[in-house]
Amino acid sequence: MFKFIAARLQYKLIIAFVLILTVPIIVLGAINFPSIYNQLVSRSLESALAGNQVQAQAIAYTLKRAKPDAIYLVQTPALQAYGSQIILGNSSSLDTVLINVANTLRCAGYLSRLSQ
């Protein structure tokens, strides 16, 4: 009978020990979960923001390089004539205007840059 009581007592002590250890772990996990979650969210937002800033700088650099070319192209008479033909819808003389645009771009070196 002593062995039976000792065996039951051993099981009870093991279960009590496991419960005593798991309850604080669960309480600490419940307390720390929101702060850890907020830290992870803030880290991911900072990482995304840094990536967006790098991409924005790359776009700004590309636009800065393209600005003089765009200003030049807007001021060329061939492209102005092409734009007015597109806006007014005169498709009969559009072929000659496109040939003038191609010649203008070829003379300026834009078409040779595109083919490289």
| Distance, CA of 8 to CA of 33 (rounded, Å) | 37
Given a cut of 80, whether residue 49 has pLDDT beyond it is yes
Q: Is pTM, for the whole model, over 0.85?
A: no
Residue type, 32: N
Tens of pLDDT, residue by residue over 2-18, are 565 666 888 888 888 98
Token pair recorded at residue 98: 């496109």
**pLDDT (average), residues 14-26:** 89
Domain ranges in the chain are 1-64, 76-116
Tens of pLDDT, residue by residue over 75-98, are 888 877 877 777 777 667 677 777
